[in-house]
Amino acid sequence: MVVSMWHFANRVRPDISLQEVFETVCEGTCFAGPVWDHILGYWRVSNAEPNRVLFLTYEQMHQDPVDKVRKLAQFLGRPFSDTEEEAGVVAEIVELCSLEHLKNLEANKKGSQGVFLKFPYDSYFRKGVVGDWVNHLTPEMAKCLDAIFEEKFKGSGFTLL
């Protein structure tokens, strides 16, 4: 998440360092606010009201996208029929929603969005590789983040993986 945030922020502020983004995340002062508060907030509501909030992590979706698309359809009250399953509709949706497909759509290659800062549409798509943070964060940074998240998630029942 820190590495993704750094690459994203780098599109509008190329001089921002990974260390700077890391520190703002650890302090809870990054542009999104304290990320752990957002995660825990959605996690808690998803447990309190499972019919209203579906909580999925990127890692879960990446690990088994077909199962998660089925789970999403079920959550929305629109499960796939046997005919749709047999016709490969789920696999087609997974392909159409894949990072590679989305980042190659013409609509996502040009233009930008935002009120105060304009983020290019293509800044929302990078690698999509789970665990790529090991190529960017130092072991000390990883330990620091682990300690923060362990403290913030303690007693919640939520685990990162």
- The mean pLDDT of the chain is 88
Quickly state the pLDDT bin for 30 (edges 50, 70, 90). confident
**pLDDT of 62-77, one tens digit each?**
999 999 999 999 999 9
Q: Give the span between the Cα atoms of 8 and 78, in whole angstroms.
A: 34
pLDDT digits 0-9 by tens, 114-136: 777 777 777 676 777 777 787 88
Average pLDDT over residues 139-148: 93
Query: Residue 112: what pLDDT?
Result: 77
Distance, in Å, from the CA atom of 127 to the CA atom of 62, rounded to the nearest integer, reads: 12
Look-up of token digits 């923060």: 148
Higher pLDDT, 47 or 10: 47
> Closest by alpha carbon to 114, among 8, 26, 2?
8
Least confident of 6-10, 19-23, 137-141: 6-10
**Choice between 106 and 70, residue whose per-residue pLDDT is larger:** 70
Query: Do 93 and 65 meet the contact criterion of CB atoms below 8 Å apart?
Result: no
Supply φ then ψ for residue 2, to 5 degrees.
-65, -45
The verdict on domain 2-153 having CATH code 3.40.50.300 is: yes
User: Which residues, at least 6 apart from 92, have a Cβ–Cβ distance to it below 8 Å?
Assistant: none
Indicate the domain borders of the chain: 2-153
pLDDT of residue 161: 65
